[in-house]
Structure 1
Amino acid sequence: MDHASHRYENVAKLYQSSGDRTEKDLLGEKQVPHTAYYGIQTLRALENFDISGITLNFYPDVIRGFAKVKKAAALANNDLQNIPDNVCASICQACDEITMGMLHNHFIVDMIQGGAGTSTNMNANEVIANRALEIMGYQRGEYAYCHPNNHVNCSQSTNDAYPTAMKVALLDANDELIQVVQQLIVAFDDKAHAFADILKMGRTQLQDAVPMTMGQSFKAFASSLRNEVERLKISALSFHKVNMGGTAIGTGLNANAKYRERVIQHLSRVTGREITLAEDLIEATHDTGAFVMYSSALKQLAVKLSKICNDLRLLSSGPRAGLNEINLPPMQPGSSIMPGKVNPVIPEVVNQIAYKVIGNDLTITHAAEAGQLELNVMEPVMIESVFESLEILKNGMQSLAERCVEGITVNEEVCESYVKNSIGIVTALNPYLGYEICTMLAKEALENNRSVYDLVLEKELMSKVALDDALAPENMVNS
């Protein structure tokens, strides 16, 4: 038995009941588990696309996005008398239930698939149709009363419904991501306040530079992420513009001329967002630039997070033979052979998340470039990649905030000793002694392993009062 058949049998067992129902399509007939809300085209996709093991129900926002689009389409079609009132009401109720989280386990198609998303669209059409049939008092599969294509997919093609649903889903997912970023910003802001008066050495090129406060370091982390929130918001704006009503290639074939305006109005109400129609539906049907731009924003966020985690790992290195300026909360034993070792596992996993997001961005870029003529059939791998990036970024940042940043402490004595013994503090004496004398002091301190502070007093270049004033934290550090 091949892997796809084995997976099909497992799904069938999940929904086994007293019998199956027979459904047919262009290619023939299949037995569908009687208790399944999906239908024959979903089963075919299950057999054909046993690819990643990541199915639609891994990402609830994707399913909710489809439910909202199908509800808006049903309302628009009812306005235009394309579907009767009772069918429209039942479809809308089914969509509302799915939006609330019901029936998600029946969305079983692999995220990566051929057909430009047709299998995903049909999975949604079939589940909604069969639930609508139940609401109307019919049996699942009695498609004469509510058909996946004729009713749920009325006035639509996968080529407009799929990208529109994904954009709606990404608007919701972006809001969730921003909430997690802001949680991490708060964690860094709290530490910036707590560490505001702790002096430490700043470093450039991994070498001692000039003094700063630990609070300034953590404030910079927060500011860096705050910038990314704005970038995410701006990048997501393009998701408000959709090609709904363009049907197959943007010409609107099989859709009433008034349908476009109606479906956009209903979709705006259903989603609570200002959804607009693209100016050129033919261009919008094959263009995937919105996904490329948003993925770029996710990549930049990932790069910022990785840099921050690199810094946290460096600052906490040691504890005896590293910088040891901060302590990360211990999460687990760090070695199977070295007793007492504790590793910075949370920053490490966020680093790895960043590498994955960067790779996903490359996948999305190549998939966008692969579009041909009137459609880009590579959208499924783009959608899978962008949602994977979103999910792992959310999970990683939440762990970073709760299991790392919130528990960080500072080794104040270590920080103070680095400042006092650093050659870098000589920079603060430039305005008092001049560059040439400061260079001489730095050289002598370095060659003889002496303190700049001690050398200045020894050579009577400044009084102790004047020196202490010049090296006071408030004079060396501008917040």
Structure 2
Amino acid sequence: MSTRTEHDLLGWIPVPAGAYYGVHTARAKENFNITGSSIAQFPALISSLAAVKQAAALANRDLGSLESGRADAIVAACIEIQEGRLRGEFIVDPVQGGAGTSTNMNANEVIANRALEIMGHNKGEYRYLHPNEDVNRSQSTNDVYPTALKIASITAGHELLAAMTYLRTAFERKAEEFSGIVKVGRTQLQDAVPMTLGQEFSTYAVMVGEDELRVSEALRHLHEINLGATAIGTGITATSGYAATACEHLRRITGLDLQTAPNLIEATQDCGAFVLYSGTLKRVAVKLSKICNDLRLLSSGPRAGLAEINLPPRQAGSSIMPGKVNPVIPEVVNQIAFEVIGNDLTVTMAAEAGQLQLNAFEPIIGYSIFRSTSHLTAACTALTDLCINGITANEAYLRAQVESSIGTVTVLNPFIGYTEATAVAQEALRSGKTITEVVLEKALLAPEELAALLSPESLATPPKAASAEIIQRVDPQTVS
């Protein structure tokens, strides 16, 4: 392999002649072989880095601190990267020491060498355009990296929101489809009062919808950036007016309503927005996992479980038990939830560990948030396409459960009183009779009145209250 030789403060090393990255990236590649992957696995981060560098070049050009020919070449290179080119040149591990310096250097070198080509020079001819002196002008890793992390998180967050909307809509369709199917509700895994299967699925739609709002709210806090802070927030090496000019260009490039933080020293060391967003992702994960727990319970069986619904079969469930099918899609979503919960703890510890004017652990914060977001996005999509859309209900079985359930007596409380209703439930359990049979035998309600109260419509949406006169007629002791 042909090489070119580049140097840094540690000395000279060979770099592949065709590589767009340079000496700093090559050293980082040697130092950080942690995850077995690279920052290229997060396209939103690469695009965000290029957008930041583009905005910086334009601001430096506008303020007269960067010659227009160099600025134009940097901008052209950045646009190509945002379009998806040179992705394979971003080779550093996402988990790295140095507060993200290796990632920033990787971007500087790739952009510089591509800009050199655009200007008609060879890679590595940095006397014409330098990675640090030109591409990184008026910047530090400490403002470039967190700004890029925030923009990438917003981009990925919008993809997650689209997937959540997709899932919520699927639950809403199932809620409508199952709106007329009465079933037994449960509390603490014990029979409770009747409801409809549609009500159960509408609850899941509401749960997802609530978290769509929470994610949107958390993303808004990521719109405050510290670009222009440079090393610690004082703006050292940056031209006067740079922060505001760079932010304005970045707003135009990204289409996001980005705002420069009012206190750049605080913004450079504080990771609170990442903690808030990660905690919101954990909330999404917890609620998705709860929903999947329900789906696994409701579909358990097919003959020795609840067997209320059928999940679409996706693969053989056992290497030894013929015919067995497992709820593999809810199971994988559960596991993603466990991962996201763990990632949130990582973000929490990393944010807490920051010291003085900088948090050195933003790489693991970004890595954790990106994985949580991308995996939750995939989970919502898989759950919708491979599970929710294909769920069917065992309607006859559900109706039979309701008819034999003791829980239906609860709807009679306002009409016959709690004490009498308890006696009815005990008699039904002892004798094996239905609630209807016991109530009619005791002549507690007229047949037509009882039939109306225990109709599917009344069971799912029971009367809110009965008059004191009716209760007193049955059992005066129950009237307060």
**TM tier relative to shorter chain:** over 0.9
The amino acid that maps onto 1:167 is K
The amino acid that maps onto 2:123 is R
TM-score by length of structure 2 reads 0.95
The amino acid that maps onto 1:262 is T
Correspondent of 1:329 among 312, 318, 326:
312
1:227 alignment counterpart: 210
2:172 alignment counterpart: 189
Give the Cα separation in 2 of the matches to 1:409 and 1:54.
41
1:179 deviates by 0.3
- SS of 2:15's equivalent? strand
Correspondent of 1:25 among 8, 23, 28:
8
Give the Cα separation in 1 of the matches to 2:271 and 2:216.
18
1:342 alignment counterpart: 325
Does residue 455 of structure 1 match 2:442? no
Correspondent of 1:284 among 254, 263, 267:
267
1:79 deviates by 0.6
2:18 alignment counterpart: 35
Give the Cα separation in 2 of the matches to 1:448 and 1:130.
86
Give the Cα separation in 2 of the matches to 1:55 and 1:183.
30
The amino acid that maps onto 1:330 is P
1:464 deviates by 2.6
Against the structure 1 CA distance between its residues 166 and 442, is the aligned structure 2 distance closer, same or farther, given a 3 Å change threshold? same
Give the Cα separation in 2 of the matches to 1:68 and 1:478.
54
2:110 alignment counterpart: 127
Correspondent of 2:246 among 263, 288, 305:
263
1:414 deviates by 1.2
2:159 alignment counterpart: 176
- SS of 1:293's equivalent? helix
1:411 alignment counterpart: 394
Give the Cα separation in 1 of the matches to 2:70 and 2:400.
76
Alignment of 1:251-400 (within 5 A): 251-400=234-383
TM-score by length of structure 1 reads 0.95
- SS of 1:116's equivalent? coil
- 8 Å contact from structure 2 (residues 317, 324) kept in 1: yes
Does residue 92 of structure 1 match 2:79? no
The Cα offsets for residues 345-364 of structure 1, whole Å up to 9 and x where unpaired, read as: 00001001000000000000
Does residue 434 of structure 1 match 2:441? no
Give the Cα separation in 2 of the matches to 1:186 and 1:313.
20
1:280 deviates by 1.0
1:231 deviates by 0.4
Give the Cα separation in 2 of the matches to 1:141 and 1:191.
60
The Cα offsets for residues 426-465 of structure 1, whole Å up to 9 and x where unpaired, read as: 0011122111111001011112222112212233322332
Give the Cα separation in 2 of the matches to 1:45 and 1:180.
35
Give the Cα separation in 1 of the matches to 2:221 and 2:414.
51
The Cα offsets for residues 201-239 of structure 1, whole Å up to 9 and x where unpaired, read as: 111111111111101111110100000011001101111
- 8 Å contact from structure 2 (residues 22, 106) kept in 1: yes
Alignment of 1:200-211 (within 5 A): 200-211=183-194
Q: What are structure 1's unaligned runs of at least 5 residues?
A: 1-15
The Cα offsets for residues 142-192 of structure 1, whole Å up to 9 and x where unpaired, read as: 111111101110000000000011111111111111000001011111101
Give the Cα separation in 2 of the matches to 1:458 and 1:134.
94
1:76 alignment counterpart: 59
The amino acid that maps onto 1:181 is M
1:285 deviates by 0.7
- SS of 2:5's equivalent? strand
1:469 alignment counterpart: 452
Give the Cα separation in 2 of the matches to 1:234 and 1:144.
46
- 8 Å contact from structure 2 (residues 65, 239) kept in 1: no
Alignment of 1:236-247 (within 5 A): 236-247=219-230
Give the Cα separation in 2 of the matches to 1:431 and 1:275.
57
1:12 alignment counterpart: none
Deviates more, 1:304-313 or 1:238-247: 238-247
Task: Report how many residues are paired.
Answer: 462
1:417 deviates by 1.0
1:161 alignment counterpart: 144
The Cα offsets for residues 39-58 of structure 1, whole Å up to 9 and x where unpaired, read as: 11101000000001131011
The amino acid that maps onto 1:63 is I
1:476 deviates by 2.4
